[in-house]
Amino acid sequence: MNEDTPLYYTDYLKLDDLLSLQSPKSLERMGELAHEEMLFIIVHQAYELWFKQILHELDSVIAIFKQDYIDEKNVGVSVSRLNRIIEIQKLLIEQIRVLETMTPLDFLDFRDFLIPASGFQSYQFRLMENRLGLDPEQRKPFEKAPYHARLSKEHQQLLIKSEQSLSLFDLVEKWLERTPFLQFHGFDFWQTYRNTVQKMFERDRKSIENNPTLSEDEKETELTELAATEKSFSAIIDEDEHNRLREKGFRRLSFKATQAALLINLYRDEPILHLPFKLLTCLIEIDEFLTAWRYRHALMVQRMIGSKIGTGGSSGHQYLKMTAEKHKIFSDLTNLSTFFIPRSKLPELPEDLKKNLGFYYSKKES
């Protein structure tokens, strides 16, 4: 086709190729089509196309965060692309409803022809998990074998390479560690936060002890609950305790990155922290929608096959439910709300710092 030939819709989208890619096994094996198999194929092909788009967006955001300096404009671009991923995830969850118009008996008409193929072999979905930053140690073992064991050699190599590359989690952690406002012209955010939290607990303790409406038993119960809350705060105030929890796998973000993420959340109303806050919120939502999709998928599988073994040999919906709980990536960001304090009790920022948080801050020239 030369440059003067008008572009034709079918040619641009290669529709003839695309619409020829549905090859039902029932037609091949039985000589007649199991009607619902066409829906099954098209839904899963649509999933893979959306996975390709998600990977396209993730790769662009990862490229932005690989830079040593990320300006405000690029943070905005990243937020926009992460929001697109979230909207795609909503579609992926809704797509399950289309698949569920197929009944379990309909599925049985062609299910045996699929063995041993399985959605577990979707290498794009595994790439997506790795690009986001799923820790290989977090993965639920699949029959005591690596998660990529049932994939082709080519796809195994792709996944192993992706594990060895910097993920979005890794890069966001480094970006948070570079947050310039944790210590600023004598203002130490973490020390100020620690003092505020300690004063808050002292006030609460005195309020309980001096409350004439509470019995001694009630006071003891409330003081015990307060002590438990205080202990949970100590895990984020004390760096050694944070690192101890990190070594045990209860934390992933570094102490400094956690400090920065908390500051961004607490002072999200300051203009220069709007976009960083939106970015962290997007990461939490992506994690939540991944969990929702896994759980919704598990419910669908239970409805379709009950307690049968999946076509790929896994323990069906039980395995999928376990991955929904275990395969979370940005839990540290989600759990930060444990350490939020009311706006009315937030430490007052120095005036010069407030000016810099209002977009007066600029990268110093070397």
Alpha-carbon separation of residue 204 from 148, 197, 232, 238, 328 (angstroms): 52, 11, 16, 21, 34
Q: What does the DSSP 8-state code read for residue 21?
A: -
- Residues 140 and 320: beta-carbon distance below 8 Å: no
Q: What does the DSSP 8-state code read for residue 346?
A: S
For 149-216, give the DSSP string.
TTS-HHHHHHHHHHHHSPPHHHHHHHHHHT-TTSEETTEEHHHHHHHHHHHHHHHHHHHHHT-TTS-H
What is the domain-level CATH number for residue 63? 1.20.58.480
Alpha-carbon separation of residue 335 from 88, 271, 331 (angstroms): 25, 24, 6
Amino acid at 233: F
In a domain? residue 329 = yes
Q: Which pair of structure tokens corresponds to residue 33?
A: 């089509």
In a domain? residue 346 = no
In a domain? residue 225 = no
- Residues 82 and 57: beta-carbon distance below 8 Å: yes
**286-309 per-position pLDDT tens digit:** 999 999 999 998 888 888 887 666
The backbone torsions φ and ψ at residue 142, rounded to the nearest 5 degrees and listed phi first, read: -110, 100
Domains in the chain: how many in total?
Answer: 1
pLDDT at 353: 72
**For every one of its 366 residues, what pLDDT tens digit does the chain have, with 9 covering 90 and above?**
567 789 999 999 999 999 999 999 999 888 889 999 999 999 999 999 999 999 999 999 999 999 888 877 899 999 999 999 999 999 999 999 999 999 999 999 999 898 888 888 899 999 999 999 998 888 877 667 788 888 899 999 999 999 999 999 999 999 999 876 666 666 777 777 888 888 888 989 999 999 999 999 999 999 999 888 887 787 778 889 889 989 988 899 999 899 899 989 998 988 888 999 999 999 999 999 999 999 998 888 888 887 666 555 455 566 677 777 778 999 999 999 888 888 887 877 777 777 766 654 444 544
The backbone torsions φ and ψ at residue 174, rounded to the nearest 5 degrees and listed phi first, read: -65, -40
Q: What does the DSSP 8-state code read for residue 357?
A: I
The backbone torsions φ and ψ at residue 187, rounded to the nearest 5 degrees and listed phi first, read: -90, 120
- Residues 130 and 166: beta-carbon distance below 8 Å: no
Q: Which domain holds residue 293?
A: 27-180+271-338
Distance of CA 131 to the CA centre of its chain: 11
Would the pTM count as exceeding 0.95? no
Amino acid at 262: L
Q: Which pair of structure tokens corresponds to residue 273?
A: 């922290």
Packed helices 216-237 and 239-247: angle between N→C axes, nearest 10 degrees: 80
In a domain? residue 239 = no
**47-106 per-position pLDDT tens digit:** 999 999 999 999 999 999 998 888 778 999 999 999 999 999 999 999 999 999 999 999
In a domain? residue 223 = no
In a domain? residue 315 = yes
- Residues 217 and 295: beta-carbon distance below 8 Å: no
Pick the closest to residue 61 from 230, 255, 270, 282 (CA basis).
Answer: 282
In a domain? residue 366 = no
In a domain? residue 174 = yes
